[in-house]
C-alpha cells in the first residue's frame, strides 16, 4: 500500500458547487505509476478506516493510501480530516438520491397469493 507523507487536506468545490476533499503529499511505495517521493494529489476521498492509530483513505478512483506524517504546518491534520469527511457524509446523506444509490441487504419478498403480484401493463 502506498504511504502519503508530508500530506495536507485540500477542500475543493466543483463548478456545480459539489464539495470535495482531496489529499496532497509525497507518495512512497511500490506503485509503478509513482516514482518514490513523487508529489501527488489524490482523486476525491470517498471513505477512510482507522487501524491502530493509522488512517487509510479510499479515493474515488479506488486507490488506498496510508496517511503517514502530515505537513508540519497542519496542526491536528488527521482529526480535522475526519471531521471534514464526516460533515461531507452528512451532507451527502441529506441529498440522498435513490436512483444514484445502491441498495444493499435487501431481501425480496415473494407474494403468497399469485393474485397479489403486480403485473406491468
Q: What is the pLDDT of residues 32-89, one digit of tens each?
A: 777 778 899 999 999 999 888 789 999 999 999 999 999 999 889 999 999 998 887 7
Q: What is the DSSP secondary structure assignment for residue 35, as one 8-state letter?
A: -
Residue indicated by cell numbers 476533499: 21
Q: What is the pLDDT of residues 3-34, one digit of tens each?
A: 999 999 999 999 999 899 999 999 998 777 77
State how far the Cα of 93 lies from the Cα of 41, in Å rounded to an integer: 26
Q: How far is CA 32 from the centre of its chain?
A: 23
CB 25, CB 8: distance < 8 Å? yes
Amino acid at each position: 500500500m502506498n504511504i502519503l507523507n508530508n500530506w495536507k487536506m485540500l477542500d475543493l468545490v466543483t463548478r456545480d458547487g459539489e464539495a470535495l476533499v482531496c489529499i496532497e503529499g509525497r507518495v512512497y511505495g511500490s506503485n509503478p505509476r509513482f516514482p518514490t517521493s513523487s508529489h501527488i494529489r489524490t482523486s476525491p476521498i470517498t471513505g477512510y478506516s482507522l487501524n491502530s492509530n493509522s488512517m487509510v483513505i479510499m479515493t474515488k478512483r479506488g486507490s488506498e493510501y496510508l496517511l503517514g506524517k502530515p505537513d508540519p504546518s497542519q496542526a491536528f491534520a488527521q482529526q480535522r480530516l475526519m471531521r471534514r469527511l464526516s460533515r461531507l457524509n452528512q451532507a451527502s446523506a441529506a441529498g440522498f438520491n435513490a436512483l444514484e444509490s445502491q441498495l444493499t441487504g435487501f431481501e425480496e419478498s415473494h407474494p403468497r397469493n399469485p393474485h397479489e403480484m403486480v403485473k406491468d401493463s
